[in-house]
Amino acid sequence: MKTPERVTATNQVVNAIKYAIQSGKLKIGDKLPREADMAEELGVGRSSLREGIKILNTYGVVESRHGEGTFIVDNSAKNFFEFMGFFPSKENTIYYLELRRVVEVGNIIHICESITDEEIAKLESLADILGQEATIEDYAEADRAFHHTLISYTQNPMLIQINNMIANMRSTLLYRIFCYPGIVQDAYMAHHGIISALKNRDLNKCIDAVSSHIDKTQEHADKLGL
């Protein structure tokens, strides 16, 4: 008979917080109770509690803010991606865009027929920002929000986490290419091309619009040596 593995006090802390998140008791943005209260509630010492919090912090599940406390966050996917060494570089930009193609084409196939007019309207409002006078930060945020919103329409948590993994690499590339107004205009046109295809519920045009957008992004990155 196999002897049950002993759960350490540190793992008890990690498991308790993980379960609280999975069950909905703790949500993103929630502040954890005071250290003394948590240690008493979980029946562990403060040193074990701190070690558990450190592990969760490394995983990107919690974030300690000086003078404020410890909060539930959602940086696990991003932290894992960076831990594996996928930092912005010319080679990784190619891999990043290849991953985007797989994810975003698959995503558009999934949502093409089920997307609602209200959901399309939300995408349109984000795409329109790229056609207005704004800062590079505004453009980058609008672009990130557009693609995040598209992914979110699948309601697939795994797909959403994969998209979160590449968030930093996406931001780095956007800040570097959106310095050029012509590239912002290309993004504006590409996003509206995707929206037009979605409005018509035309699957082939949806796939072409997403693929063309990524091809154009790759072209800009190559020209700039990114």
Looking at domain 9-74, its CATH class is mainly alpha
Q: Which residues contact 87 (CB under 8 A, 6 or more apart)?
A: 169
Residue 219 above 70 pLDDT?
yes
Digit-coded pLDDT (tens) for 200-214: 999 999 999 999 999
Residue 6: its pLDDT value, please? 67
- Strands 69-72 and 62-65 come out as antiparallel
The residue among 151, 216, 150, 160 whose CA lies nearest residue 186 is 216
Which amino acid type is present at position 36? A
CATH topology agreement for domains 9-74 and 86-224 = no
- Domain ranges in the chain are 9-74, 86-224
Contact of 201 with 207, CB cutoff 8 Å: no
Residue 3 above 70 pLDDT?
no
Rounded mean pLDDT of 181-203?
97
Residue 109 above 90 pLDDT?
yes
The topology (CATH level 3) of 86-224 is Four Helix Bundle (Hemerythrin (Met), subunit A) (1.20.120)
Residue 74: its pLDDT value, please? 83
* 190 compared with 18, residue with greater pLDDT: 190
| Three-state DSSP class for residue 154 | coil
Contact of 95 with 114, CB cutoff 8 Å: no
